[in-house]
Every structure is written in structure tokens, then in C-alpha cells.
Amino acid sequence: MSTRNENPSGAAEPMIGATGLTKQYGRSQALRGASVTLRAGEILAVTGASGSGKSTLLHCLAGIVRPDEGEVSYGRERLDRASENRLSELRRTDFGVVFQFGQLIPELTVRDNVMLPLLLAGTDRAAAQDRADEWLERFGVRGQAALRPGELSGGQGQRVALARAWVTGPKAVFADEPTGALDSLAGEQVMTALVHAARESGAAVLLITHDAQIAAYADREVWLRDGAVHSGATPFAVQEAAHHEG
């Protein structure tokens, strides 16, 4: 199945475009004129040292944080100007988010965690359960459906988080260091599952990572330094800085 959205020239269309983003937190300037485009169906890796603004950029693109200045466009819609209601609607329907850890609700079973976004979007329980089980199966954690998050390995937990991000059929998935807390084997399993899901669903993925081996799964890579986005070969100094903080 290919739902990739390509224009006649063969280049995937921009889906989310950000230009000139700035964001200040107290005295720290997290973004200083960051611009980036996420194209339909692509996996875009964003690398950079700790504190370079990667998470802030992701939050701005996903409509979680509003930039101080600059534009974020999702198709024809301006996310930097959208209402809170519209942004939370988009996060329920069009966007999925995966963080490094801690995003599953510990009191709920794995299956209930994955059903939750569907229930919030108004899907009935039986359909939500079927869909949740289908995505758990695809991510290889169907057998863990009745467990609580605390009973999972790190890699299983991240695959459940991916299932939850994909269960609503998002157009874009934002993953902030999804393998950052995993050993390399579990990290590879998570990435293989992520790439499969992206290709099958046609969703675009913005993937933040410190790890060059993880970035290698992406179609394209950009890097951040001091709150601005750069493309082309990642300078050795940036690779080193990213590598050393693990």
C-alpha cells in the first residue's frame, strides 16, 4: 500500500513548514530563527547537542508549544495562530507523539493505553479495542496487551507508545529520542517497527535522535545548533557532542 503523497515532479510535498521560529524560556533562547520542512511521507532526523533546541522545535511543529515569532504551517493552516481547541483536536487526530520515556499511563493496561486516544476521539469501545490490538500486533507487543507499563521492558514500552501514536491514523508522528533510553538491540527493534509503520501508513515522521546509527534510518537529516536548523553533512563537532551525551 502506498499512500505517499507525491507531486508530479516526484518530490514529496511539504506537510509541515516552519520558518523563522524563535522561542525564549526565561534567559535561555531555545530557538533563534529555526526553519524546517517536514514533507509528506518522509522520515526526517533532527540531531544536535543537548540544549540546541531539538525538543522545542518538535513541540512547536506539533502544536504543543507556541513559538514567540515565526510561522508554522500545516497544509494551509497556520498552527502558530491556531486556537488551543484546534491544536488539541489536531493532536488527537492528525498528529502522534512519542517521547523518550514515561508517556504511558501506569495505572492502565497496555491495551487501554493504546485505546485511549481513540476513545477520546469518540470511537466506540469495541472498535477501539480491535484497532488497539491490531497496532499492538504490528509492533510485536500484542502478547503484552493485558500488562501494565511497569511490567514491560524499555523496548516493549516504546513499541506500545508507537502503537498509541499510530492508532489514530496520524498524518505526522513526532518522536523525541524514542530510543534514547534503550540499548542498541532494543533501539534497532523500535526503529525497525517505526520505519515499517511509517511506510505502511504513509505518515511523515520527525525523529529526534542523538545517535548517528538511529539517524541513518531516516530519509533525510538536519541538525540544530544554537536554536537554528542546518542541513548538509553534520559537522564532526556536532556528531561528537551528540555522541558523548548519549
Task: Select the residue interacting with ligand ADP from 22, 52, 168, 209 (CB under 6 A).
Answer: 52
Site for Mg ion in 40-69 (CB under 5 A): 54-55
Stretch that binds ligand ADP, among 44-52, 88-96, 99-107, 144-152 (CB under 6 A): 44-52
Angstrom distance (rounded) from CA 190 to CA 20? 32
Angstrom distance (rounded) from CA 230 to CA 223? 5
Stretch that binds ligand ADP, among 7-15, 26-34, 119-127, 165-173 (CB under 6 A): 26-34
Task: Select the residue interacting with ligand ADP from 3, 50, 213, 231 (CB under 6 A).
Answer: 50
56 binds ligand ADP (CB under 6 A): yes
Residue 39 interacts with, from ligand ADP, Mg ion, none (CB under 5-8 Å by kind): none
The secondary element (H helix, E strand) that includes residue 131 is helix 125-138
Residue 158 interacts with, from Mg ion, ligand ADP, none (CB under 5-8 Å by kind): none
Q: Give ∠ CA 101-105-111 in degrees, rounded to 5.
A: 105
Task: Count CA atoms closer than 13 A to 23's CA, side-chain side.
Answer: 27
Q: Measuring CA to CA, which residue among 169, 175, 172, 171 is closest to residue 191?
A: 175
230 Cβ contact list (under 8 Å, min separation 6): 222, 223, 224
Residue 155 interacts with, from Mg ion, ligand ADP, none (CB under 5-8 Å by kind): none
Residue 28 interacts with, from Mg ion, ligand ADP, none (CB under 5-8 Å by kind): ligand ADP
Contact 132, 118 (CB under 8 A): yes
Angstrom distance (rounded) from CA 65 to CA 37? 17
Cβ closer to ligand ADP: 28 or 153?
Answer: 28
**Partners of 228 in the β-ladder:** 225
Stretch that binds ligand ADP, among 50-58, 79-87, 129-137, 160-168 (CB under 6 A): 50-58
Contact 174, 96 (CB under 8 A): yes
Angstrom distance (rounded) from CA 227 to CA 241? 15
Site string for ligand ADP, 157-176 (x = CB under 6 A): --------------------
30 binds ligand ADP (CB under 6 A): yes
Task: Select the residue interacting with ligand ADP from 3, 6, 7, 25 (CB under 6 A).
Answer: 25
Residue 50 interacts with, from Mg ion, ligand ADP, none (CB under 5-8 Å by kind): ligand ADP
State the residues that interact with ligand ADP by CB under 6 A: 25-26, 28, 30, 48, 50-56
